[in-house]
Structure 1
Amino acid sequence: MQVFYATQFVLPLPTGHRFPMAKYQLLRDRLPAEVEGIQLRQAEPASIGELALAHQPAYIQAICTGAIAAPAMREIGFPWSEAMVDRARRSVGATIAAARVALREGVAANIAGGTHHASSDKGSGFCVFNDAAVAARLMQAERGRAPAPPGPGGGEPLRVVVIDLDVHQGNGTAAIFRGDDSVFTLSMHGARNFPFRKQAGDLDVDLPDGCGDGEYLQALESALARLERRFAPGLVIYLAGADPHEGDRLGRLELSFGGLQARDRLVFDWAWQRRVPLALCMAGGYGVRIEDTVQVQVNTFAIASEYWCRWQNLRP
């Protein structure tokens, strides 16, 4: 299974900054040793034109040149630097690459990504550019340039669902795709968690503080059934946040390691049963113990690899 990374492009952060940048390298170090069949690939940066599929040119220019206003950078939560810009572009590039490969091979992944608080004209909550939004629009554009495949629906635009199971609502993604019938946004998140002013997506599921495995999995099964009735995707972009874990500093939910593995299996099996390719990205994770966050993510990649193998058995 192809996995794209940009861990060597480290974002310099002040001492004591609460974003756990080290988790990406820890995950990259563990995956080849613990998950069979992982093929690591360095991500290339998203181009300015690719970013413009989901973001306003003035915002892209302000970020890339450092002309972004101080209050806007405070909302993002990172200090501006050229390294920040490069890493943000590569995080988007990794999801683009994972989506392309997933459409060929069934499953592929980004070690980072899931920057769902970025909207078209601003960043927020440690999110500079919205990787899922850019990747969805670019895959649609590339499908439009390709010859139409034979059979029913061959000339229709690629329909994409973003299944966002980070503990925080994907407000930026919802705002970008509002009114776009070709992209469906499903977000399952803590009702009382950031962002405190939510943006209405196509399907939002609010969860109470302290929600545990049973309640969460029941809500997810119901949400996937509702998605099934409303939308038939040709690509899933799955944000598998580690922050619903009971050991997360910012999550306020109480899912166990086993509960999160069951969550991932529900999503991967939903896509597999319908033979819909899936691109995986990791989204948030702020464990009191960083090892717990990384373990949640290793578990997700192990399940992804299982389903990638199923897809390969379909290939001639």
Structure 2
Amino acid sequence: MQAYYSDQFVLPLPEGHRFPMAKYALLRERAGTDPGIRLLPAPAASDGELALAHEPRYVTAVAEGLLSAAEQREIGFPWSPRMAERARRSVGATIAAARAALEEGVAANLAGGTHHAYAGKGSGYCVFNDVAVAARLMQAEAHRRARRLLRVAVIDLDVHQGNGTAAIFKDDDTVFTLSLHGARNFPFRKEASDLDVELPDGCSDEAYLQALDRALEALWSRHGDRPPGLAFYLAGADPHENDRLGRLKLTAQGMAERDRRVLDACRQRGVPVALSMAGGYGHDLARMVEIQFRTLQLAQRSWAAWQASMGRDASRAPAA
């Protein structure tokens, strides 16, 4: 399975900043221990690609360091050339993962899931909305190649609502947005997804998985006998019981079962999956990395099942 990384672009954050920048390199190192995961550097998204989901003024402001102090505060990162480059690479990684998923069934971005970014602004540690850009680009490429409409599903299981994604696709019936999130968590002013499932503080495995099953069933029923042609899965680690910002109580076993149900449901319906790791703010960084590594392992197993269904040898990775 192909997985894209951009952790070489480390932001110069102030001491004590609560964003866990170190987790990305640790996750890449951990993923490198699995021979079934092929690690690749993320390409940078171009201005034209970013403009598929973002206002040109905002793209230019990020690229050229023209963000106001208020805009930087809302994002949560001070501007720097590395901040702008990392944001491009995070989007580029999801674009590359989406292309690979359409070819092979499953692929991953070891970061991404920047779902709080709107068309004209960033927010909540999200500069550009990687899923929104990649979804629109994949639709454009599908139309250019085969003159076909690519319907997309966004399955957002980060503990925080995907407000930016919901706003960008508000009037777009070709993209179905599903968000399963904490009712009392950030953002405190929610946007309307196509399907929002709000969960109470302290929600544990059984209740969460029941809610997930109902949400997935609603997703499939909305599409009738024509499932979407691509799913973006935001597999946030922040619903875990030890997350500093999550407020839910899923165990590691519950998190793995969540991932398994999403990946199995998509594979059974022939829906390719581009995975983004999204949020995770655990007290124990090593434990959080293990949760996200487990997500990658389950994605790799789903990828192997796709290869078998297509008559391919999953043990033979493609040449670089």
User: Do these two structures clear the TM 0.5 threshold for a shared fold by scoring above it?
Assistant: yes
Q: Any idea what SS the aligned residue of 1:204 has?
A: strand
Q: 2:249 aligns with which of 254, 271, 276?
A: 254
Letter in 1 for 2:14: P
Q: Deviations along 1:141-192, whole A, 9 cap, x unmatched? A: 00011035xxxxxx3x100000000000000000000010100000000000
Q: C-alpha distance in 1, partners of 2:24/2:146?
A: 38
SS of the aligned residue for 2:32 comes to: helix
Partner in structure 1 of residue 269 of structure 2: 274
- Distance in structure 2 (CA, Å) of the matches to 1:293 and 1:32: 16
Q: Report the AA paired with residue 22 of structure 1.
A: A
Deviation string for 1:172-215 (max 9, x for gaps)? Answer: 00000001010000000000000000000100000000000000
Distance (Å, rounded) in 1 between the aligned partners of 2:146 and 2:262 = 30
* Structure 2 residue 192 is matched with structure 1 residue 200: yes
TM-score for the superposition, normalised by structure 2? 0.95
Identify the residue that residue 88 of structure 1 maps to in structure 2. 87
Secondary structure of the residue aligned to 1:45 is coil
In structure 1, the residue matched to 2:157 is 165
Instruction: Kindly indicate whether the alpha-carbon contact (under 8 Å) linking 1:30 and 1:298 is maintained by their aligned counterparts in 2.
Output: yes
Task: Name the TM-score, length of structure 1 as normaliser.
Answer: 0.96
Question: Are 1:133 and 2:132 matched, yes or no?
Answer: yes
What's the offset of the Cα at 1:293? 1.2
Separation of aligned partners in 1, 2:151 and 2:180: 20
Judge conservation of contact 1:36–1:305 (CA < 8 Å) in 2.
no
Amino acid at match of 1:303: L
Please name the residue that 1:37 is paired with. 36
Find 1:219's aligned residue among 204, 211, 224: 211
Q: Report the number of matched residues.
A: 308
- Describe the SS at the equivalent of 1:236: strand
1: distance between equivalents of 2:58 and 2:9?
Answer: 22
Give the CA deviation at 1:62.
0.8
Distance 1:40 1:315 in 2: 22
Once the two structures are superposed, what CA deviation does each residue of 1:61-100 show, in whole Å capped at 9, x if it has no partner?
1111111110011000001000000000000000000000
1:235-294 Cα offsets, whole Å, 9 max, x none, are: 000000000000000000000000000000110011011011000000000001111211
Distance 2:61 2:32 in 1: 38
> SS at 2:178's partner residue?
strand
Deviation for aligned residue 1:36: 3.5
Corresponding residue for residue 169 of structure 2: 177
Q: Please point out which of 210, 221, 224 is paired with 1:229.
A: 221
Give SS of 1:21's match.
coil
Residue type at the aligned position of 1:172: G
Residues in 1 aligned to 2:32 and 2:300: alpha-carbon distance in whole angstroms: 12
Q: After TM superposition, what 4+ stretches of structure 1 lie above 6 angstroms from structure 2? A: none
Q: Distance in 2 between matches of 1:180 and 1:293?
A: 35
For 1:146, what is the secondary structure of its paired residue?
A: helix
AA at the equivalent of 1:3: A
Map 1:97-176 onto structure 2 (within 5 A).
97-148=96-147, 155=148, 157-176=149-168
In structure 2, distance between residues paired with 1:132 and 1:183: 11
- Counterpart of 2:146 in 1: which secondary structure? coil
Equivalent-residue separation in structure 1 for 2:262 and 2:255 (angstroms): 11
Alpha-carbon separation, structure 2, partners of 1:147 and 1:210: 47
Residue 31 (structure 1) shift? 0.8
The whole-number CA distance in structure 2 between the counterparts of 1:100 and 1:10 is: 26
In 2: Cα distance, 1:44 partner to 1:253 partner: 34
Q: Which residue of 2 aligns with 1:151?
A: none
Letter in 1 for 2:3: V
3-state SS of 2:181 partner: strand
AA matched with 1:296:
I
Code of the aligned partner of 2:285:
I
2:69 matched residue in structure 1: 70
Identical positions, percent: 65
